[in-house]
Amino acid sequence: MTTVRDATFDVLRRLGLTTIFSNPGSTEVPLLAGLPDDLTFVLALHEGSVVAMAAGHALGAGRPALALLHSTPGLGNAVAAIATARLNRAPLVIVVGQQDRRHLALDPFLAGKLDGLAGRYPVSAEQPVRAQDVPGAIVRAYHEATTARGPALVVVPMDDWSAPAPEPHEIIGPAQLLRSQAADPAAVEALAAVLNEASRPAIVAGAGADGYAGWTALIALAERLNGPVFQEPFGAQAGFPQDHPQFAGHLPARRERLRETLKPHDAVLIVGTGAIRQYPYDPGPLVEPSTRLLLVTQDPEEAHRSPVELAVLGDPAALCAALAEAVDAREHTFTPRTPPPDPPPPDHGEPLRAAHVLQALADRLPRDAILLEETPSSRPELHARIPATAPLGFISAMGMLGFALPAAIGLRMARPDRPVLTVVGDGSSLYQIQALWSAVAYRTGVLFIVLRNGGYAIMDRLAERAGSAGPWPALDDVDIAAMAKAQGCEARRIETHEALVATLDAVLDDLAVRDTPLLLEIAVAQDATFDP
């Protein structure tokens, strides 16, 4: 008898979902036992790592990836990573196991109350009404994940897999879904009218503009307008080449500084993001009343919540390419950005600072490297010193801590053609340090750089601003390199500038072809001047 399981495997093959990231439990055994050889199973030791690895794979491959979670504990443990995957626009199909459908009414052991457990972070969630609807639900989840660029959930009771397969006509969902990316002439005309009236326009590039098409279109538009291009604050990906002469840096995340930065511009076109994420709260409007805000995004939520004069919901690349033809050309209205000077090496006995590490990386990184970042207290320094020079060159974990380390593993699996590294804080690394086991087990050549400052730097600065020290202790007695070695991952502790330079010189030359992970735990001083 052909089963729902068999029909689902056929759907997974057709959709290209042939790698299954999972930390399974008993409710997933009926699906996984005797897995066909053409499907690949990837084990992680925590569900946060499962989803983050799948998200990294999806971002690297440019199409949905598949994660399999175990009922309530699996989905519950994964919620933070699901939230981050949503913010990072990672398309995921997440199948969640459930107890046997035939006695769910009796609330058996391991039956999950799964409805709403992940909150509003999934772009869709469905438990099929009957077993035969499972393959179609996965088809629909795939398209939901692709269209909304986020995680889509399907809950499957464990006995559904052995049920008789549906008839082909019962698998409800399109066999192929094409997305038209044409630019509406009326939308282009409305945007162009505002930009042509402006004397000093600027562009804000967001994560939704990342990719070759988005970069090409935005470069053409920026060069036509000859104005500055800023990167959104808290951008999950780079929306514009950051070594382009018109790149003006990252916008500040405080309203007062944001208003001051954008004050010279009478029109600002925001592309591929909402307008404009801030942290922490400051009173007042985002921009001066004289600054007109325009927005182009594919994300309805971003469009609906943005306080702008005109929002256009559509493909950023197509709209910006058409807009580059429609706006008037003009002389340049920007001052080229001056990169920060190289920090002098620390004097003998002085500690390394994050600036030393990040500048050393910037001087040596290949142009096609993919850098995943999750180091909140060093993020401004990283943005200032390491430009994204190729599409998909920069990814920032824009949600809950613990995402970047496992996401880098999945991304490297999807993109073995490009060098992959992640720069994380010591606190961030501890949330999913067990993901290193998967990196070792699957011979994933990621370079993990942990900036160890021994404390909660952001929390310390916020507490100082509140007027009192926080009650949390330092973390300077945690040996992160030892935790890596305990999982079979090569690790080194670096404390001097000489060791830093020598190690990076040796490691970065062959990072693109490396097939085993390496963790560098680098001791750095806290930056007391950091202003979150």
Residue-level pLDDT at 323:
97
Compute how many other C-beta atoms are within 10 angstroms of the C-beta atom of residue 48: 27
Compute how many other C-beta atoms are within 10 angstroms of the C-beta atom of residue 159: 18
Residue-level pLDDT at 15:
96
Q: With bands split at pLDDT 50, 70 and 90, how would you rate the model's confidence at 57?
A: very high
Of 49-58, 273-282, 374-383, 523-532, highest mean pLDDT? 49-58
Query: pLDDT of 504-523, one tens digit each?
Result: 999 998 999 999 999 999 99
Tell me the sheet residues that pair with 41: 20
Q: Which residue has the tokens 């995340």?
A: 253
Query: pLDDT of 215-243, one tens digit each?
Result: 999 999 999 999 999 999 989 999 999 99
Residue 302 in contact with residue 236, Cβ under 8 Å?
no
How crowded is the C-beta side of 293, counted as CA atoms within 13 Å? Answer: 21
Query: pLDDT of 317-353, one tens digit each?
Result: 999 999 999 999 988 777 888 888 999 999 888 999 9
Q: With bands split at pLDDT 50, 70 and 90, how would you rate the model's confidence at 23?
A: very high
Q: Which residue has the tokens 């142009």?
A: 367
Residue-level pLDDT at 529:
55
Residue-level pLDDT at 176:
75
Which amino acid makes up residue 435?
A
Of all residues in the chain, the percent with pLDDT exceeding 90 is: 80
Indicate whether 75 pLDDT > 80: yes
Indicate whether 457 pLDDT > 80: no
Q: What pTM, to 2 d.p., does this model score?
A: 0.93
Residue-level pLDDT at 347:
87
Q: Return the structure tokens found at 452.
A: 């160890």
Compute how many other C-beta atoms are within 10 angstroms of the C-beta atom of residue 331: 5
In eight-state DSSP terms, residue 240 is S
Query: pLDDT of 425-454, one tens digit each?
Result: 998 999 999 999 999 999 999 999 999 987
CA-CA-CA-CA torsion for 256, 257, 261, 264, nearest 10 degrees?
30
Q: Which whole number is the average pLDDT over 471-491?
A: 90
Q: With bands split at pLDDT 50, 70 and 90, how would you rate the model's confidence at 37?
A: very high
Residue 297 in contact with residue 311, Cβ under 8 Å?
yes
Residue 294 in contact with residue 270, Cβ under 8 Å?
yes
What mean pLDDT value characterizes the chain? 93
Q: How far is CA 8 from CA 21, 26, 93, 341, 478, in A?
A: 16, 19, 13, 56, 45
Indicate whether 164 pLDDT > 60: yes
E strands in 99-222? 124-126, 151-157, 201-205
Distance CA 422, CA 330 (A): 40
Weakest-pLDDT range from 14-18, 85-89, 345-349: 345-349
Residue-level pLDDT at 156:
97
Indicate whether 530 pLDDT > 70: no
- Please name each of the domains of the chain with its CATH number: 4-162 (3.40.50.970), 185-326 (3.40.50.1220), 354-523 (3.40.50.970)
In eight-state DSSP terms, residue 273 is S
Residue-level pLDDT at 167:
92
Residue-level pLDDT at 532:
52
Residue-level pLDDT at 142:
96
Residue-level pLDDT at 181:
74
Residue-level pLDDT at 473:
80
Compute how many other C-beta atoms are within 10 angstroms of the C-beta atom of residue 147: 15
Q: Which whole number is the average pLDDT over 65-90?
A: 96
Pairing label, strands 229-231, 292-297: unpaired
Q: With bands split at pLDDT 50, 70 and 90, how would you rate the model's confidence at 195?
A: very high
Q: Which residue has the tokens 């990837």?
A: 42
CB-based burial label for 440 (10 Å; 0-12, 13-18, 19+): middle
- Length of the chain measured in residues: 532
Q: With bands split at pLDDT 50, 70 and 90, how would you rate the model's confidence at 120?
A: very high
Residue-level pLDDT at 59:
97
Residue-level pLDDT at 282:
86
Residue 145 in contact with residue 15, Cβ under 8 Å?
no
Pairing label, strands 40-43, 19-22: parallel
Distance CA 175, CA 10 (A): 12
Indicate whether 464 pLDDT > 80: no
User: Helices (DSSP H) in 16-133: which residue ranges?
Assistant: 29-32, 47-61, 71-87
Q: With bands split at pLDDT 50, 70 and 90, how would you rate the model's confidence at 203?
A: very high
